[in-house]
Amino acid sequence: MHIETELDDIHAERLLALQRRFNQPLPKLVADILKKALDETTPSPESEPGEVLHIMEKHGLLGCMDDDQHLSVDYKQHLWK
């Protein structure tokens, strides 16, 4: 993929300094920076629905309230009383 961008002087200088420091071709350096940024924004396994339920159960948060057994059906009645 070909990507063209224009950087201001400060960011261009910082990118060139990184290139000198790591002694890598610019395309590889930019690909590595992009990969790292994307990896950091990837949802953690804790955000998986099954894992969230497991964590809630582990800490005693599931079933910790006494209420209507049919809450999944008539929850609106409880929310807007």
List pLDDT tens digits, range 28-53. Answer: 999 999 999 888 876 666 566 677 77
61 lies in some domain: yes
Please give the average per-residue pLDDT across 8-30, as a whole number: 94
20 lies in some domain: yes
Burial of 72 (0-12, 13-18, 19+ CB in 10 A): exposed
For residues 18 and 29, the answer to whether their CB atoms sit within 8 Å is: yes
Contacts of 74 (CB under 8 A, 6+ apart): 68
2 lies in some domain: no
Structure tokens at 53: 């339920």
Residue 81 — very low, low, confident or very high, per pLDDT cuts 50/70/90?
low
Amino acid (1-letter code) at residue 41: T
pTM: 0.49
Amino acid (1-letter code) at residue 13: E
**Predicted local confidence at residue 55, as pLDDT:** 81
Does residue 49 share a domain with residue 74? yes
Does 19 have pLDDT greater than 90?
Answer: yes
Identify the domain containing residue 34 by its residue range: 9-41
Q: What is the DSSP letter of 43?
A: P
Does residue 37 share a domain with residue 17? yes
3 lies in some domain: no
